[in-house]
């Protein structure tokens, strides 16, 4: 069965510092991978996704993620954190376009002024 693991339930960075949120997946075939962001009392908003093709994926708000099959990872990065980036981030995966997503437990990002 597929699983998604997010390392670190809480990450704290200073404003302007690099953001790195870690995600590893477990599956026997290359999955579809997503990063979603959830602000308080709101639904999930898609940041970026990997399906096929280029392994470096750029998303909204300056975020990007790289699919590394050899490491079964899909870490999310942003060069410079902004206060507005403070939120809960979820990594999710699916084996095909029609299968339900399996979510990680989430990582709460705090940005310190």
- List interacting residues with another protein (CB under 8 A): 4, 9, 32, 34, 36, 41-46, 49, 51, 90, 92, 94, 97-98, 100-101, 103-106
Q: Smaller CB distance to another protein: residue 19 or 91?
A: 91
Nearer to another protein by C-beta: 17 or 110?
110
Q: How far is the CB of 50 from another protein (least distance, A)?
A: 10
Q: Which is nearer to another protein, 9 or 14 (CB)?
A: 9
Q: How far is CA 22 from CA 19, 103, 104, in A?
A: 10, 13, 10
Query: Do 95 and 27 contact (CB within 8 A), yes or no?
Result: yes
Q: How far is the CB of 66 from another protein (least distance, A)?
A: 19
| Smallest distance, another protein to C-beta of residue 93, A | 11
What is the H or E stretch that residue 106 is in?
Answer: none
- 3-state DSSP assignment of residue 44: strand
Closest CA to 85 of 34, 47, 31: 47
């Amino acid at each position: 069965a597929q699983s998604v693991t997010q390392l670190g339930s809480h990450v704290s960075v200073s404003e302007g510092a690099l953001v790195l949120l870690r995600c590893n997946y477990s599956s026997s075939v290359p999955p579809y991978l997503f990063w979603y962001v959830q602000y308080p009392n709101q639904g999930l908003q898609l940041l970026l996704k990997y399906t096929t093709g280029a392994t470096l994926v750029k998303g909204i708000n300056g975020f990007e993620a790289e699919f590394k099959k050899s490491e079964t990872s899909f870490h999310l990065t942003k060069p410079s954190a902004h206060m507005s980036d403070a939120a809960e981030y979820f990594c999710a995966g699916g084996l095909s376009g029609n299968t339900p997503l399996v979510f990680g437990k989430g990582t709460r990002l705090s940005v310190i002024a």
